[in-house]
Copies of this chain bind each other. A is one copy, B any other.
């Protein structure tokens, strides 16, 4: 498992993920060629197909990997916290994640609301898993009276998820000079006000 071979392979896969994520974030899935990905990762084209069944499967595994990390961060963030604090922790976790994996966040924002693509089903499912963590928090907050009773859990959860994405990526793309703390503070302020009972 940790012998030289599988470590080498895992390393190659990781490099391919990184290359693919950057290129797809910039250009989109269709505009990114397998040759591009291979070149940026510093491997031959055949290596891509040795490690992944197809371009689509590479992308799907990439999505699974990336959103899996986000979901894990979400779970860790809310662990044991009361609803109001958990909500703030979620916002912080999301922005922290976006800061660390900016290209992946950009990619998500661009591909999240597409329809009629092969990998759409996969993405929809993964999105659901991440949002479910938010929804659990909102639900328990509404139940305990910590959050407004008239809050629609589903809408609020997906709105929270999407708003964090769009505000953060907009900041990354259009005003990267601004410190992220400002964005985080602004977003927290918004969420705090909206969460007022």
Contacts of A190 in B (CB 8 A): 190, 193-194
* CA–CA, A115 and B114, complex, Å: 18
Chain A contact surface mostly: helix
* CA–CA, A171 and B158, complex, Å: 9
Mask: chain A, 127-169; 1 = CB below 8 Å from B; 0 = not: 0000000000000000000000000101110110011011101
A174 interface residue per 8 A CB criterion: yes
**Total copies of the chain:** 2
A29 interface residue per 8 A CB criterion: yes
Query: What is the minimal beta-carbon distance from A27 to any residue of chain B, in angstroms?
Result: 6
Chain A: interface size category: 35 or more
Closest Cβ neighbor of A32 among chain B residues:
B30
The reply to whether A162 and B155 form a contact with Cβ atoms under 8 Å apart is: no
Contacts of A173 in B (CB 8 A): 113, 115
Contacts of A46 in B (CB 8 A): none
Given known contacts A155-B183, A159-B186, A163-B163, what 6 new A-B pairs fall within 8 Å (CB)? A26-B116, A27-B116, A106-B113, A106-B114, A152-B182, A162-B166
